[in-house]
Amino acid sequence: MEADVKKCRIDAAAQYGIHSSSRLLKVMRDSSPSDGERRALKSVIFEGDAVFSMDRWGFWKDKFLSLVETTPEALYALQRMRIFEQ
């Protein structure tokens, strides 16, 4: 069951990347979050306070790259992210 839950989480994150990449990239490039936003949007898997940053964008690209053999959605999310960087 644990493997199923992990795959569901990966698929959910990938769907978020697939459908939100263009908007998310803009937010990562242009936003300066408040202290409250930094606390609220902190991730358990992304270390640091840079909740809206190109560091976090790169973190997710690397994460999807490491998961492409786990689910095709990870590859598609990575491809979408790369498209919007151009």
Interval 40-69: pLDDT, tens: 877 778 777 777 888 889 999 999 999 998
pTM: 0.82
- For residues 24-35, average pLDDT: 86
Q: What percent of the chain has pLDDT over 90?
A: 40
Q: What percent of the chain has pLDDT over 70?
A: 100
Rounded to whole angstroms, the Cα distance separating 85 from 3 reads: 32
Q: E strands, 1-86, where?
A: none
Residue 79's pLDDT is 95
